[in-house]
A = this chain, B = another copy of it.
Amino acid sequence: MDHMTHPLDEAVQFDHRDGLAVATTHPGWMNMVGPYGGITASTVMAAIMEHPDRAGDPVALTVNYAAPIAEGEWTLDVRPVRTNRSNQHWLIVAEQGDHVVATATGVTSRVAGGWGDQELDIPANDGPHAYPVAKSPLPLRWLDRYDMRFVSGGFDQIPSDSSRSVLWLNHTEPRAWDHVAVAGAVDAVFPRGFLRIGTTTAFGTVTMTTYFHANAAELAETSEHVLMDTTAARYANGYYDQSVRLFSESGALVATSHQAVYFKPGALG
């Protein structure tokens, strides 16, 4: 598939007006209410990557989901607030109409190489082709964008007494991995509270932070399927933490991601 006609690349195209990047929601990435949170993160990441002053590869990205994004245009004010010798700090305020829909901060870095080590192994599994492609119980458009194969903790395990799922993930329409793709993919597993509590619970990610351990060169060589190991530690006062580790097929830890998720059991009764 042509890179520029891939649904991900279509979704992260920008017009530029009044110093703002203008994004448009894409029908292929719609969630229950508004766009899939991952495509919003990918869009923010893409707005940093295309900025003419950007230096280096992403190290970290935090996206805060302030309000639902309605179908249509939304604007991103993308500012490099500080450029140091080795890194750069980014601040993004996204609006639609007259209100803020998202804020974000990011760090990019020009450092490459140096001392390296990985302390985590990829979870034991039989490879992506040993597991069937999962069918979601919910007909959401964005789910068509990903091929998911559960090693453990799939839809058939709901409700479970553990928040852990391990799955292989790929784009349905083939596309190489880059930071824009990873920024969105880390949100692709279904909510951990859905696994614990069940399908009548309402969910919303309020903030998500991703650390990118692989630079552009390493991501370009990353396998088609990536493994997600995901869990949650505590549910309290209407929120829980969801954590994701993303591995390449060769076992490299490509990214780690964390989010705070609002949940309300029975709200979808």
Residues of B within 8 A of A59 (CB): 206-207, 239, 260
Cross-chain contact of A111 among B60, B207, B237 (Cβ < 8 A): B237
| Residue A70 interfacial (CB < 8 Å) | no
Residues of B within 8 A of A129 (CB): none
- Scan residues 97-135 of chain A and give those whose CB is less than 8 A from a CB of chain B: 99-100, 103-105, 107, 109, 111-120
Q: Are A64 and B206 in contact (CB under 8 A)?
A: no
Determine the residue in chain B with the shortest Cβ distance to A254.
Answer: B234
The secondary-structure label for the interface of chain A is: strand
Determine the residue in chain B with the shortest Cβ distance to A82.
Answer: B66
Q: Are B105 and A237 in contact (CB under 8 A)?
A: no
Chain A interface size, as a band, is 35 or more
| Residue A258 interfacial (CB < 8 Å) | yes
How many whole Å from A227's CB to the nearest CB in chain B?
14
Q: Are B119 and A162 in contact (CB under 8 A)?
A: yes
CB within 8 Å for A235 and B67 given contacts A60-B206, A62-B207:
no
Looking at A81, A91, A112, the one whose CB has the most chain B CB atoms below 10 A away is A81
Q: Are B84 and A67 in contact (CB under 8 A)?
A: yes
Q: Determine, out of A34-42, A44-52, A149-157, A210-218, the stretch whose residues face the partner at the interface.
A: A210-218
Cross-chain contact of A206 among B107, B114, B206, B214 (Cβ < 8 A): B107
Copies of this subunit: 2
Residues of B within 8 A of A196 (CB): 117
A67 to B214, CA, bound (A): 24
Q: Are B235 and A116 in contact (CB under 8 A)?
A: yes
Cross-chain contact of A237 among B107, B109, B206, B238 (Cβ < 8 A): B109
Q: List 10 other contacts, CB 8 Å, given A66-B89, A114-B264, A213-B236.
A: A59-B207, A62-B207, A64-B105, A66-B81, A89-B103, A107-B206, A111-B237, A211-B239, A213-B239, A234-B253
List A residues at the B interface (Cβ < 8 Å). 57, 59-60, 62, 64, 66-67, 81-82, 84, 86-87, 89, 91, 93, 99-100, 103-105, 107, 109, 111-120, 162-163, 196-197, 206-207, 209, 211, 213-215, 231-239, 241, 245, 253, 256, 258, 260, 262-265
